[in-house]
Amino acid sequence: MSLIEQPLADLDNEIRGPIGDIDWTQFANCKGKTKLFFAPKAERPQARERREAKARSLCNACVVKDTCREFARNNHEYGLWGGENEEERHLAGFTIAAPIGVRSRLAKSA
């Protein structure tokens, strides 16, 4: 049975397996929408909140959300992955090589 013919529940289980087994990114709702998930240079906080809210709405309906989040956490990614931005991954205990803006925001909130 091909991936196209599989029931969604079976497909979801297959995608959630080890990341190397299947190119899970092909099933991501964000495919082709890169600008929505990565901040442009000098983005204002209000613009970031609006952009991330739109991105999260796609993540929340995505069948590969958990795999995506795990990938970002394990690979120290920037941007919004699996409904989490780099600050949220950092606060969840996953180290990142944070840009200056993130370091300063986290220092102020501590």
pLDDT, tens digit (0-9, with 9 covering 90-100), for 29-71: 999 999 999 999 999 999 999 999 999 999 999 999 999 999 9
Q: pLDDT value at position 97?
A: 64
Report the pLDDT averaged over residues 91-103.
Answer: 68
DSSP element (H, E) containing 100 = helix 100-109
pTM (predicted TM-score): 0.68
Q: What does DSSP assign to residue 17?
A: S
| b/e per residue 22-49 (b: at least 16 CB within 10 A) | bebeebbbbeeeeebbebeeeeeeeeee
Cα of first residue to Cα of last residue in the chain, in angstroms, is 52
- 49 vs 107, which has greater pLDDT? 49
Residue 99 has pLDDT above 70, yes or no: no
Report the pLDDT averaged over residues 70-84.
Answer: 93
Phi and psi for 84 in degrees, rounded to 5?
-120, 140
Average pLDDT, the chain: 79
